[in-house]
Chains A and B, each alone.
Chain A
Amino acid sequence: MAFRIPPLSAFRGLALGFCLAALGSAAVAQDEGASGPIEGDVVGGISNPTSIAVPDMPTPRSVGTPAGGTEDLGRQVARVIEEDLRNSGFFNPVARQFLRDVDMPQVTAPEYPAWNQVGAQNLVQGYVQAGSNGRLTVGCYLYDVFSQAPLERAGYEVDYADWRRAAHRCADMVYARLTGEGAYFDSRIVYVAESGPKDNRVRRIAVMDTDGANHRFLTNGQSIVLTPRYAPDGRTIVYMSYLNDEPRVYIYDVNSGRQRLLVDAPYMTFAPRYSPDSRYVVFSMAVNGNSDIYRVSVSGGRPERLTNTPGIDTSGSYSPDGRRIVFESDRSGGQQLYVMNADGSNQRRISFGGGRYATPEWSPRGNLVAFTRLGGGFRIGVMRPDGSGERILTNSWQDEGPSWAPNGRVIHFFRTPRGNSLPSLWSVDVTGRMVRRLPTPVGASDPSWSPLLE
């Protein structure tokens, strides 16, 4: 897929008199960093969401495409962008009834006073165009309404089937430019789809876009499947399966749809995670009742043992520089978090908060570790890798299994209600705000993000 600014020829006769603007917009959303205070209401949104208008995108020529007519695509692209921005919690999209029709000349010469009148602080305009090469071009332009200035523009050329990705990329551009945070909309989520009663649960590996679109089941539910993880290069998914009544870690190739056993040993292997360079998988293996952490090359071969204690050691997760691993161990009597070097040396405990701690996941930014805290229910929290700065982000009966978005800001987890109920996927911002449920076709658990897509 090529990403480039749309050529001048696309706007023959139109004024293209703006250039990429410098910083200085007065409309940047309030953003408290990861060390900011938690507000009392963990379900609440950000205090000052930016009002943003995302009108339907016009098309220079209305034609049919395999993905629908370009006029219809222009509407759908705008809706996907609007939904992404709304779900981030930082933006308050202007209501549909106040969105004006935009024609092609206005795309690059916005009617600022009109947008100002409906209270928009920022404006996202663009266009969709069917190319002569059988691909779709989407132009994406971000404006500061108050200062009447363009802020940024980008263009995306995609296969028609990938039109949603162009919309997510545009939303990522807007989000990153206005919040200063990294992008995360243009990625995929792998998770465990769950259906049926608690004592006869069907579990399948499933993948979907961050907004729930393009959903697909990867396994057929005949074997229990758990804890999938995307490789950082996005090409494979590692997970645990009870195929043939033997609980083992498998690597699934996303392109070919084939899977292979990661470690050929007569013991349960579980809790797999990739190294940041996608070359290794750290996992746990239970031998004679004792679970320790091992590392193995993705091409298979002899695993290298990293921990060797009588306690249960599991849930290893690499730091983004690949040099350290955070994991949980009950060697001190209850589950706590530990950090060690990637070769297993220098194992030291980092959690001392008085609770029990599990399922650690190192943020892709390296600055935080997310975890499940146990004790009177399960809650999602974060702490710094040295164990300081612990903050609890959620408050429910069973919130478990955090995983990070590529931008190190948004966390997904699964929430299970009491009784005979299905779990579901939820999202929370690293400050504890913007708790929201993610749509899935059936119940869901164990979410994990892919990297930003190529």
Chain B
Amino acid sequence: MSQFSRTAIFLTAGSALALGACSRSAPDDLPPPPIGSTMPDTTPTGSTGPLPGSRADFLAQAASDTIFFETDSYDIDPEDRAILDTQAAWLVANPGVRVTIEGHCDERGTREYNLALGERRANAASNYLAARGVSASRMTVISYGKERPIALGSDASSWAQNRRAVTVVPM
């Protein structure tokens, strides 16, 4: 009966989401922290900074992992160039690191066209980095079209934040 089926679907969906978010409660007695370690913190401190070649290291050293685009455009503007230059410097200094460059669009385009436009944006960033000495074989390009926004509104500010290319360094 349809009533039963609908309930089953919601239960299944709920279970799947619950599993994805499950956490264990902390034990009452925590083991002592290892000697010389720092508390978990996104900003590197004092004697122990982020691991060289890691994502945290990249984010600390490059101006940003993200560049932005005008509507319907995949042009790399001067501000983008400045950011990509710092990314390129880090990548050249860390030659063993492979990166993925994601291309994204705002919601004001149709689904398939935006997949193609996201690809253009990621490819443009990748080409720029390659021209700055980053070997193309280290870079994978992927488009998410409009399917993975970071800003949720339907306004100019949200759209501007979503028109982006992100250089992703593995953790």
Binding site for B on A (CB under 8 A): 195-199, 201-203, 213, 215, 217, 220-221, 224, 226-227, 245-247, 268, 270-271, 284, 286, 288-291, 312, 314-315, 328, 330, 334-335, 358-359, 372, 374, 378, 397-398, 400-401, 416, 418-420, 441-442, 445-446
Give the chain B neighbours of A199 by CB distance below 8 A. Answer: 148-152
Known: A221-B16, A289-B123, A312-B117. A400 touches B110 (CB 8 A): yes
Asked if residues B124 and A289 are in contact (CB atoms below 8 Å), the reply is yes
The stretch of B1-9, B55-63, B78-86, B91-99 in contact with A is B1-9
Whole-angstrom distance between the alpha carbons of A245 and B144 in the complex?
10
User: B147 near A201 (CB under 8 angstroms)?
Assistant: yes
Pairwise interchain contact B150-A419, C-beta atoms closer than 8 A: no
Interface residues of B (CB under 8 A from A): 2, 5-6, 9-10, 13, 16-17, 72, 74, 100, 107-113, 115-117, 119-120, 122-124, 127, 141-144, 147-154
Q: Is the CB of B110 within 8 A of A286?
A: no
A-B contact pairs, 9 of them (CB 8 A): A247-B142, A268-B142, A289-B120, A291-B115, A291-B116, A315-B112, A358-B109, A400-B111, A418-B154
- Give chain A residues whose Cβ lies under 8 Å from the Cβ of B16: 220-221
Nearest chain A CB to B143 CB, angstrom units: 6
Q: Nearest chain A CB to B125's CB is how many angstroms away?
A: 10
Q: By CB atoms of chain A within 10 A, which of B16, B74, B116, B123 has the most?
A: B116
Indicate if the CB atoms of A328 and B113 lie closer than 8 Å.
Answer: yes
| B13 touching A195, Cβ below 8 Å | yes
Q: Which residues of B contact A442 (CB under 8 A)?
A: 13
The 10 closest A-B pairs by CB, nearest first: A289-B123, A418-B154, A291-B116, A420-B152, A358-B110, A286-B119, A312-B116, A271-B112, A198-B152, A289-B120
**CA of A250 to CA of B154, assembled, Å:** 32
Given A247-B143, A270-B112; A441-B6 close (CB under 8 Å): yes
CB distance from A60 to the nearest CB of B (A): 25
Q: Which residues of A contact B113 (CB under 8 A)?
A: 312, 314-315, 328, 330, 335, 358
For residue A142, give the distance in angstroms from its CB to the closest CB of chain B.
27
**Cα distance A299–B33 in the bound complex, in angstroms:** 58
Q: Are B111 and A419 in contact (CB under 8 A)?
A: no
Closest A residue to B120 using CB positions: A289
In whole angstroms, what is the CA distance A446 to B146 when docked? 14
Given contacts A289-B124, A312-B120, A372-B110, 10 further A-B contacts (CB under 8 A): A198-B152, A202-B13, A213-B2, A226-B111, A268-B143, A286-B143, A314-B112, A315-B113, A420-B153, A441-B6
A311 to chain B, nearest CB (A): 9
Chain B residues within an 8 Å CB radius of A271 = 112, 115
Q: Is the CB of A398 within 8 A of B10?
A: no
Chain B residue, CB-CB nearest to A195: B13
Q: When the two chains form their complex, are residues B115 and A270 in contact, meaning their CB atoms are under 8 A apart?
A: yes
CB within 8 Å for A378 and B110 given contacts A288-B123, A441-B9: yes
The minimal Cβ–Cβ distance linking A265 to chain B, given in whole angstroms, is 14
User: Contacting A215 at CB < 8 Å: which of B9, B72, B122, B153?
Assistant: B9
A270 neighbours in B (Cβ, 8 Å):
112, 115-116
Q: A197's closest neighbor in chain B, by CB? A: B152
| Chain B residues with CB below 8 A from A400, complex form | 110-111
Query: Inside 8 A of A419's CB, which chain B residues have their CB?
Result: 152-154
In the bound assembly, the distance between CA atoms of A291 and B144 in angstroms comes to 14
A247 → chain B, closest Cβ, in Å?
A: 7
**B-chain residues with CB within 8 Å of residue A221 when the two chains form the complex:** 16
Q: Which residues of B contact A358 (CB under 8 A)?
A: 109-110, 112-113
Given contacts A358-B113, A420-B153, contact A217 B9 (CB under 8 A): yes
Please, how many angstroms separate the alpha-carbon atoms of A220 and B12 in the complex? 10
A16 and B109 CA atoms in complex are apart in Å by 60
Select one of A201, A246, A312, A446 contacting B111, CB under 8 A: A446
Return A334 CB to nearest CB of chain B, in Å: 8
* C-alpha spacing A302/B136, complex, angstroms: 25
Complex Cα distance, B107 from A199, in Å, reads 12
Contact A198 B119 (CB under 8 A): no
Alpha-carbon gap, A314 to B115, bound state (A): 10
Q: B residues within 8 A CB of A224?
A: 144, 147-148
Give min CB distance, A208 to chain B, whole Å. 10
On chain B, the residues within 8 Å of A213 by CB distance are 2
Residues of B within 8 A of A286 (CB): 115-116, 119, 143
Contact partner of A198 (CB less than 8 A), chosen from B115, B143, B149, is: B149
Q: Enumerate chain B residues within 8 angstroms of A418, measured Cβ to Cβ.
A: 154
Query: Which chain B positions have C-beta within 8 A of A201?
Result: 147-148
Bound-state CA distance A245–B148 (Å) is 13
- How many Å lie between the Cα of A286 and that of B114 in the bound state? 12
- The answer to whether A268 touches B115 (Cβ under 8 A) is yes
Which chain B residue has the least Cβ–Cβ distance from A401? B111
Give chain A nearest CB distance to B99 CB in angstroms: 13
Q: Which residue of B lies closest to A419 (CB)?
A: B154
**How far, in Å, is A86 (CB) from chain B's closest CB?**
18
* Shortest distance between the CB of B124 and any CB in chain A (Å): 7
